[in-house]
Amino acid sequence: MAEALLIAGPTASGKSALAIRLAKARNGVVINADSMQVYAPLRILTARPTIDEEAEVPHALFGHVAPDVNYSVAAWLRDAGAVLARCHAQGQLPIFVGGTGLYFRALLDGLSDIPAIPDDIRARVRALAQEISPQALHQRLAACDPEAASSLRPSDPQRICRALEVFEATGRSIRSFQGPRHGALLARSRAVPVFLAPDRAVLRARIDTRFDAMMAEGALAEVEALQALDLDPALPVMRAHGVPGLMAALRGDVSFEEAIVKGKADTRHYARRQHTWFRHQLPDFPWISPEKAEAFFQSRPANRPHAL
């Protein structure tokens, strides 16, 4: 019997609505597994459940992180462990939902044993990231750790910073730590995972329609409030889809029409990367159309959770 349901999938695939329906039917708790939906300021732009939806069933790990925090996979795994313990104590079914593959992998496989990074090294690398472009930062990484640089996109400053921090702190490539893992919270035999896989053309249309709806619902006001905080641009919250383009429009660097086009395009590109990541990194997640997912879960009984 299942002791946790795992609903992964690309953005705009209908994961949250499915999770809420299952939670209503099975005494469940909807637990966030999306790295952008953890941040408090961006309910609309990250498509977090609405206040009314959160009132329908218990939700956890949504909007609980301040925007100036560089929230990590390790921090999420720690917080998810606390939520699981509460579910076990109260006899509720944990339903993890999101599109961040690293969260799901940590949940099932644990984390690599990378040493803690000293604060002075972290501050120095983050300061460098503010002074030079992501492409130049990637070149810095390639000079000292070509193995890590070859696996990272030049447009991903957060992971580039992480690789630089690890190299400076340990003298070793971050790739060298990607061996044995520890700290998994769920056994695969006790979890039922799915990857929602809508028709690609339908998904692209839903992404564009949803971005327009978010703009109509107040996404720009969220970005204005975020911009007023004058945060480090390397922080994860500053790279949420739509944020960079809308901030550029607020500065007058581009038009709002151009910012919206960019936001939609970035989201579509991210959905493609999600498909690729899950296909290669978590191949045991069955791919199911959203229309068939509820019946799939209903065919798998769930019992009262206990210590996993």
Per residue in 236-265, pLDDT tens? 999 999 999 999 999 999 999 999 999 999
Packing angle of the helix pair 157-170, 119-131 (nearest 10 deg): 140
Residue 307: pLDDT band (50, 70, 90) is very low
Express each pLDDT in 126-181 by its tens digit: 889 888 998 999 999 999 999 999 999 898 887 899 899 999 999 999 998 877 78
Whether 103 contacts 35, CB under 8 Å: yes
pLDDT by residue (tens digit) across 47-86? 999 999 999 999 999 999 999 998 999 999 999 999 999 9
Angle, CA of 44, 50 and 56, to the nearest 5°: 165
Pick the CATH number of 119-177 from 3.20.20.60, 1.10.20.140, 3.30.465.10, 2.102.10.10: 1.10.20.140
Helix (H) or strand (E) holding 195: strand 191-196
Does position 29 have pLDDT exceeding 70, yes or no?
Answer: yes
Paired strand residues for 288: 196
CA torsion sign for 76, 80, 81, 86 is positive
Mean pLDDT to the nearest integer, 284-307: 80
By C-alpha distance, which of 108, 113, 122, 116 is closest to 177? 113
Give the whole-number percent of the chain exceeding pLDDT 70. Answer: 96
Residue 308 has pLDDT above 80, yes or no: no
Checking if the pLDDT of 2 tops 70, the result is no
Which of 33, 31, 26, 32 minimizes the C-alpha distance to 92? 26
pLDDT at 103 over 60: yes
- pLDDT class of 1 with cuts at 50, 70, 90: very low
**Lookup result for tokens 């002074």:** 131
Say if residue 306's pLDDT is above 50: no
Q: How confident is the model at residue 301 (pLDDT cuts 50, 70, 90)?
A: low
Which residues lie closer than 8 Å to 63 by C-beta, 6 or more apart? 37, 38, 39, 40, 43, 48
pLDDT at 304: 43
Q: If one looks up domain 4-112+181-298 in CATH, what number appears?
A: 3.40.50.300
Nearest to 138 by CA among 203, 234, 53: 234
Q: DSSP letter for 239, please.
A: G
Per-residue pLDDT, 302: 57
The whole model's pTM is what?
0.85
- Output the CA–CA distances (angstroms, integers) from residue 132 to 12, 106, 125, 135, 247, in the order listed: 33, 32, 11, 8, 19
Q: Hey, where are the domains in the chain?
A: 4-112+181-298, 119-177
